[in-house]
Amino acid sequence: MIKNDKQLAYTKELAAKFEETNQKLKANEEKRRLDPVGWQLIQDSNQALRQKLISEVEEYEALEAHNPTQPLVLEIDNINYLPDVIIKARIALKLTQQELALLSDHTEEEIKAFEEKNYHNASFLDFLAVSNALGIKIENGKFIAHLDDFYQQELINIRSQVTSHTNLNPVWM
């Protein structure tokens, strides 16, 4: 799962390298003639890996394009992917790690560490505090993330403080 713009750029670069490798492999008639099964296996393997990377890019770009004023609906088919819900919700709701830290009463370093390790290093209470700040609820078997009025107001306050200190425009209000 792509969690930030740096990982997005790297993933796009990697997908391009897989495509370039496949183009070179397709042009290698001698390899195809001498080992057609091996040639096809490498081709298929590279294409499958490239497609996985492209799917991750598309997912991240869709999260970034999400309107944060609208609820985000996520489905997971395995409880092991529950940390992904939190990370995806933060991205789609246009919260920085620093903003989520302030909303959930954590430090930015803690949020970074949680995301880096997919929340495996977070206590249950940490997990609940972060999911509560993101407004994550379960409705009809789906996870819904939407900042409630209290957290929206808190976010506005946080962003106005940051804006007044740095003279930067907030990302979303």
The answer on 144 and 161 residing in a single domain is yes
What is the rounded average pLDDT for all residues in the chain? 93
Alpha-carbon span 160 to 155, nearest angstrom: 8
pLDDT in tens, 30-77: 989 999 999 999 999 999 999 999 999 999 999 999 999 999 999 999
The answer on 101 and 61 residing in a single domain is no
Instruction: Name the domain count of the chain.
Output: 2
**Is residue 83, in this structure, part of any structural domain at all?**
yes
Q: How confident is the model at residue 169 (pLDDT cuts 50, 70, 90)?
A: low
- The DSSP 8-state label assigned to residue 145 in this structure reads E
Confidence (pLDDT) at 173: 45
Between the two ends of the chain, the Cα-to-Cα distance in Å is: 27
Confidence (pLDDT) at 167: 57
The answer on 57 and 10 residing in a single domain is yes
The answer on 76 and 61 residing in a single domain is no
Beta-sheet pairing, 142-145 with 72-74: antiparallel
